Amino acid sequence: MSPLPLGLAGVILFLTGFFRLNNKDNNNNKNDDDHHDENPSFIRSILVFCYSCFLKPHSSGSKDNQQGALESFYASQAGVYDVTRKNLLKGREDMLELAAAQLKHKASKSNSRKCIWVDVGGGTGWNIEAMSDFLNVPEFFSHVYLVDFSPSLCEVARKRFARLSWSNVTVVCEDARKFRLEDYESGLASDRGSPARSGFSSSYFEQKRPEHGGADLITMSYSLSMIPDYFSIIDSMTSLLSPNGIMAVVDFYVQSDVDIAYRNYTGGPIGRHVNYISRTFWRAWFDLDRVNLEPSQRDYLEYRFGTVLTTNLRNKTLGAIPYYIWIGCHKKPFLSSSLPHEIIERIDALATESPYLLPADKQSNSSSVTNRLTRAVNHTAPELRSKAFDAAVQNLSANLPLPSFFYQNHHWRIYYDDRLQKHTQFNDEYIYAFTWEDSQVDRKILKLGPEDVVLAITSAGDNILSYATQTPARIHAIDLNPSQNHLLELKVAAYSADLPYQDFWKIFGEGKHPQFRSILLSRLSPHLSSRAFQYWLKNEAIFTNPQGRGLYDTGGSKHAIRVFRWITYLFRCRKSVLKLLATTTLTEQRRIWKTKIRPALLSKLVSNFIVSTEAFLWAALGVPKNQLAMIEADHASLSTQEGSGPSSRAHAIWHYMVNTLDPVVEQTHIASSNPYYLVTVAGHFSSKCHPEYLSPAAHKILTRPNAFDNLRIHTDEIDEVIARISPGTLTVAIVMDSMDWFDPSSNAATKQIVKLNRALKLGGRVLLRSAGLEPWYIKEFEKYGFAGKRVGNRVPGSCIDRVNMYASCWVCRKVENLRPPTPDIGLMEHEMI
């Protein structure tokens, strides 16, 4: 073996000498003050840390067991522990903030007693003091128990709480597997003996571990990876946690996608994969300090509990060390029965389409629980069994936790399998950051009432929220792209958290908020599904980056916005765009448009080389090839009628742009009454001009308690959702321009029309928009039980609505029912009743 480099050898000798001078005997029984100062200097702390972690030989001390091993490692550095772990143990504050948010949400829904918190492996008590940034620890908790196996760390904790004068904190130096709240809390029932204190009884081996305990919160902060026998400690936590309690863990980890490839209960894969080199390096590195990064630690945690929220992060301060934060609850919901088949039946009875299983103590008969159960049933349409139900059956039959959607605080996000290619094809990016349908026109056409059951495409969720202000009986929001539904979830969470209007406006009106991350953790997290939470934590920079342009410069549609911006710079009319936004009259707006902006934006050069390309139309504007063909066909027909000769695609797109934009500028004042083009040009909305959901009046309506009890968010195709809805359930279906996407040569459109007929009540309506003046599929609607009526027609020089992006708007009303198909008759052979 080659000798150590001179510099490294010198550092080792220096650290060894320094430590020996300051710690003459690390294994004796002297008072803790003999080993370290109460407030050691930073330099001394770092030197002690380096020696203890990298140079000092490990031993079991005077006790040849786990406690002796811990003392060997911690005794010499207990006094410098907090100083040296500040940058190493990232995520502790975030874990505490998430746990506090969950506790506050639960407290707001009930008038239960004060909470009991058990901090397992709590060490010096840093976590408990840090929690005071989020909760008033002496007042919120009736009692806090710090359980740790290291006497040196426990002594530091005792001094800490003596200094703070917190009388409700007890430090317990004990193996956490043996800790029982019944030994400290009066009034807690004991289902088993205490062999640690009373010795073995004749019936000891016949006693069963209780299903739950009395702790409302259990935390483990970088302690699970320090426990060799982690299976038993995780098992013991199930007997410690109360029925409606939560558990919060933050710790190091290494794991690959292969480990979780076939699990639907982990809470989402974003950022979870650690590459092979990093996995190997970090496991070997931490093994030097007896920190075990065995992947099965986290696997078993997720198997024994239900996942409420989880996220995977990197400590970029110290080499991108992987760590995770996990918030969980009991694996089995505490309902009126513990039998799996009865739990499944309750899931189906409460809300077949619901990912939320209402947690209630199986012994509870309180009126509040009964009322909440009744409300859940009353708000549930008679829908068929869903994919969520199928997943619940599959998991419970295999003794697995339910998918994380079932453990959320709200029922609106429906279970979906995020591993399917139909979802992953979007690469975790939404296309639309705002909705391109005019909600004012929808309101006038539909006139929704309290008996309506609405199905609509999510897009950015703006129109879904507009429908919600009209309080229909149910809203089914559907989008195949998970990220579009994450965006809707974020907006719904902000309402449900009763976020102040000023903060709500900054996030969704201006598209930027410097404190977004803190708001996400402390206010929004209890109201988000795990996947949506993961998504927005990963993409927090959208709102917080000072150099960024905010929410409305994101998504696939940002390419069109950026091309427009680039064109204005290229043609030197950017100042004119800003002047247009500053105009106060239509006359002034028209003049600037015609003389400065229109010649650039509607130039044949731009149309031929940028806008009319199929790649740009799809990537930037979301125009598929079948819809493009409809635009070309309409223009070709018009050219034939006018005798202007054959037309090219570029010519068709140019005319479509002219018919879209010219009337908008002529008839709507962009700065004061057209939010769709204002946000496109300015990158944000204004207090005078914004979508309906951003108004103070809408905010007042949608922040009311239970305002979204009627919402279901489906991440799936329209066909898949309506196929699982009971016949005659829907009264309104809003499909935007999705019918334009179908190939006229296939029967896909007809199949969807037949399913819509089945799902809609007699008299139910389908609202759709189209890039075509006479969409080919209207005849298919009329063939299969609908009466089509055009309620908007864009002729040259006129606006169909403030967006004016579509050539026509239609309402197809169901006038006849279809007979169900027989086994030997195809879908196309339905008969009218």
Tokens representing 224? 């699970």
How far CA 795 is from CA of 184, 611, 798, 805, 806, in Å, comes to 79, 22, 6, 12, 11
Range 717-829: architecture per CATH: 3-Layer(aba) Sandwich (3.40)
Are 286 and 293 contacting, i.e. CB atoms less than 8 angstroms apart? yes
Length of the chain: 833
From start to end of 606-699, where are the E strands?
Answer: none
Residue 577 C-beta-side C-alpha neighbours within 13 Å:
22
Tokens representing 347? 């899931």
Measured from the Cβ of residue 736, the count of other Cβ atoms closer than 10 Å reads 19
Equal CATH topology for 88-187+206-330 and 717-829: yes
Are 75 and 27 contacting, i.e. CB atoms less than 8 angstroms apart? yes
Helices (H) and strands (E) in the chain, counts: 38, 14
d(CA 15, CA 4): 15
Q: Cα angle at 479 between 391 and 463, to 5 degrees?
A: 130
List all residues 6 or more positions away from 471 whose beta carbon is below 8 Å from its beta carbon. 450, 701, 710
What local confidence, expressed as pLDDT, does residue 603 receive?
Answer: 78
d(CA 474, CA 369): 22
- pTM of structure: 0.85
What local confidence, expressed as pLDDT, does residue 604 receive?
Answer: 72
Are 676 and 438 contacting, i.e. CB atoms less than 8 angstroms apart? yes
d(CA 795, CA 659): 8
Tokens representing 619? 């990537």
What local confidence, expressed as pLDDT, does residue 511 receive?
Answer: 97
**Structural domain boundaries in the chain:** 6-84, 88-187+206-330, 334-407, 558-682, 717-829
CATH number attached to the domain at 88-187+206-330: 3.40.50.150
**Torsions phi, psi of 726, nearest 5?**
-60, 145
d(CA 666, CA 594): 10
Rg value, the chain, Cα: 31
d(CA 91, CA 251): 8
Calculate the CA 599 to chain-centre distance.
44
How far CA 522 is from CA of 95, 118, 494, in Å, comes to 10, 21, 11
Are 55 and 77 contacting, i.e. CB atoms less than 8 angstroms apart? no
Q: Is 566 helix (H, G, I), strand (E, B) or coil?
A: helix
What local confidence, expressed as pLDDT, does residue 74 receive?
Answer: 52
Among 722, 711, 714, 716, residue whose Cα is nearest residue 414 = 714
What single-letter amino acid sits at 783? K
What local confidence, expressed as pLDDT, does residue 69 receive?
Answer: 53
Among 405, 231, 385, 391, residue whose Cα is nearest residue 303 = 231
Tokens representing 756? 């819509």
**What is the DSSP-derived secondary structure letter of residue 142?**
E
What local confidence, expressed as pLDDT, does residue 307 receive?
Answer: 96
Q: Cα angle at 223 between 220 and 225, to 5 degrees?
A: 120
What local confidence, expressed as pLDDT, does residue 556 receive?
Answer: 86
What local confidence, expressed as pLDDT, does residue 41 receive?
Answer: 57
217 strand-pairing partners:
117, 246
Are 81 and 224 contacting, i.e. CB atoms less than 8 angstroms apart? no
Calculate the CA 577 to chain-centre distance.
36
Among 516, 665, 547, residue whose Cα is nearest residue 602 = 665
Are 423 and 416 contacting, i.e. CB atoms less than 8 angstroms apart? yes
754: left (phi over 0), alpha (psi -120 to 50) or beta: alpha
Where do we find the tokens 């002219």? 658
pLDDT along the chain (833 residues), means of 10: 39 42 40 45 56 55 55 52 68 96 91 89 93 96 94 91 95 92 78 45 58 93 90 94 95 92 91 94 86 92 96 91 96 54 45 32 37 40 65 86 90 89 93 93 95 95 96 94 97 97 98 97 97 97 95 89 85 91 95 91 71 58 77 78 62 83 94 95 95 97 93 92 86 94 93 95 96 94 96 88 94 92 49 49
Tokens representing 540? 């927090």
From start to end of 150-303, where are the E strands?
Answer: 169-173, 215-221, 241-252
